[in-house]
A = this chain, B = another copy of it.
Amino acid sequence: MSNKQLDQLRQELDQVNLEILDLINKRAELVQKSAQAKEKQGANRSYDPVRERDMLNLIKENNKGPFENATIIHLFKEIFKAGLELQEDNHSKALLV
């Protein structure tokens, strides 16, 4: 494989990184909307272990690799945690106004 082909792979990798970036932020927006909706209903907006388990099960069922389930689960738990922290930040800011 030539340097040109390696450059091509790097460009594809950069492109995939940016697609992942957009989806992670799109996910954060959905989490924010969902939290606002729950708050209006007076429901608890915070951590929901049952919903998290269901999401992880669906993800595992659809994992075709090359990453193993354990790695995928680790990465998604980090993504979920970041989403929860974003909700908490928004809630704190709302309490300050």
Give chain A's interface residues, CB within 8 Å of chain B: 1, 5-6, 9-10, 12-14, 16-21, 23-34, 36-38, 40-41, 51, 55, 58-59, 62-67, 71-72, 74-76, 78-79, 82, 85-86
Inter-chain CA distance A75–B40, complex, in Å, is 30
Contact (A23, B30) CB under 8 Å given A1-B37, A37-B5, A37-B9: no
Q: Across the interface, do B59 and A34 meet the contact criterion of CB distance under 8 Å?
A: no
Q: Is the interface of A mostly helix, strand, loop or mixed?
A: helix
Residue of B nearest to A79 (CB): B75
Which residues from chain B contact A12 at a C-beta distance below 8 Å?
Answer: 30
Inter-chain CA distance A78–B82, complex, in Å, is 12
Q: How far is the CB of A5 from chain B (nearest CB, A)?
A: 6
